[in-house]
Amino acid sequence: MWLSSPSNNPIGKKALLLLMMVTVLTRGSSAHAHGSVVDGGDGCTIQLDFYSAHFSIYQPDRSGHRAYCEDIPVATDTLFVMEYQHNAMREVPIEFRIIRNDSPLGRFVRWSDIQQIEDIDAVTAYYQSAQPRPDGVLSIQHVFQAEGDYVGIVSAPHPDGSPTYHAVFPFHVGRPLVPVWGWPILGIGILLLWWRYRKHTQPASAMSGNQPHETM
């Protein structure tokens, strides 16, 4: 089979590279979330420079007590919960904003991209400036009216007032067209189709190359 010796077969090299890319992308999606929210396996954490907080999203009407890191299944009443891990966060106000993600960067949007938005209020779906929380817990409730791509932005100043730190986490509301577990299946399907195509085209190419040449 052509895949058994990829070092001597350019088609095998391309197929192996494609399979490696699918594997890396899938592992990257399942091992951690996007942007400033990270899934460490025992819960999600949002990072704002040296600040950090446990981060969970709930949709009680839909999923009960199930917690999400970022992507949520439907547009409905949604609860964002941050449990501060640093005492300094209890002393500062927190800004929590959700905007529609119209950026062509999609999941890869960062704070530097947010800064380039001329009128952020025009794309804002939710905004709250929360006062310091002595108990270290911030709860944000928002009802999503439409499915689609969004970006969450959390901002908190240094205890001295400056600088201000930002966390940016892109997320999707609604079921994705291809779930994370579906990418390996999709990748294997593409490889199988490619292999079948090469299997049927290579013999024809070989026969045409072995045709005797006419001599004058």
Give pLDDT tens digits for 108-143: 999 999 999 999 999 999 999 999 999 999 999 999
For residue 63, pLDDT beyond 50: yes
72-85: b (≥16 Cβ within 10 Å) or e: bbebeebebbbbbe
- Collect all residues with Cβ–Cβ distance below 8 Å to 152 and sequence separation of at least 6: 70, 80, 96, 97, 98, 167, 168, 169, 170, 171
Strand partners, 45: 38, 54
- CATH label, 31-173, candidates 3.40.50, 2.60.40, 1.10.3470, 1.10.10: 2.60.40
pLDDT band at 21 (very low <50, low <70, confident <90, very high): low
| CA distances (Å), origin 95, targets 34, 70, 169, 191 | 20, 18, 14, 47
120 with 112: CB under 8 angstroms?
no
For residue 32, pLDDT beyond 50: no
45 with 38: CB under 8 angstroms?
yes
Give the integer Cα–Cα distance in Å for 6 and 23. Answer: 17
Give pLDDT, residue 175: 79
- Cα–Cα nearest to 156, from 86, 56, 66, 69: 86
How many beta carbons lie within 10 A of that of residue 26, not counting itself?
18
Give pLDDT, residue 196: 72
Place of tokens 């600040």: 51
For residue 33, pLDDT beyond 80: no
pTM over 0.85: no
43 with 37: CB under 8 angstroms?
no
Give the start-end residues of each E strand in the chain: 37-39, 44-48, 51-58, 67-68, 77-84, 94-100, 124-130, 137-143, 148-157, 164-173
